[in-house]
Amino acid sequence: MLKKLLMMSLAALALAACNDDADEGIQYATSNPSIVDGVFTSDNMHFYGTAKVTDSEGNVFTDPEAWFEFAGDRETLVIYMHQTRFAEKMPQLDMRIYRIPYTGGEGASLSFSSESLIPQVRLPNQVGGGYSYQDMPSYTLTEVEGAIDEIVCRMSFTCDVPKLGTYRMEYEGRLLVKK
């Protein structure tokens, strides 16, 4: 009996040591109550995953801690890309895509696309302090496509930044548990 308890304890310890997500305090959802019958209906959804960016020369930059947040209503989404960047040396920016229409799917799924969107970047206000989102036409996104399927979010777009190059971003993240 003691031997059995010892083996079970060792197995539990090994499982806990292998669960990197638990070590970082990240908890992923097992269902998505924010989308009902293809319609965004409630609290913001936070997705945590990996953004892979390929530049026009074929160089790849991977951000394994990409955090996207979705807000919205029954017709449009607001997508926040927290501390996003397209290259290793690029400063992290808080960007958002404001009010993109979506198409509902079955259950907890929806999709969105656009040929071209001007993102907004969160910048400090010149007067009075604080921050606000401002249009950033030099970061225009093209070939925007994305979908949320239950607890998985996938999104891709191309960004042609003057004097810096063209970047293709592909993101995949999983829904976080609301705390």
pLDDT in tens, 9-33: 333 333 333 444 444 689 999 999 9
**Confidence check: pLDDT of 47 > 70:** yes
User: What number of CA atoms fall less than 13 Å from residue 2's CA on the CB side?
Assistant: 0
Chain mean pLDDT for the chain: 86
Could you tell me the domains of the chain? 28-175 (2.40.160)
The answer to whether the beta carbons of residues 47 and 149 sit under 8 Å apart is no
Distance CA 50, CA 28 (A): 14
Task: Tell me the backbone φ, ψ of residue 13, rounded to 5 degrees.
Answer: -65, -40
Q: What is the pLDDT of residues 102-156, one digit of tens each?
A: 999 999 999 999 999 999 999 998 888 899 999 999 889 999 999 999 999 999 9
**What's the pTM value of the predicted model, to 2 decimals?**
0.83
Tell me the pairing of strands 103-104 and 109-117: antiparallel
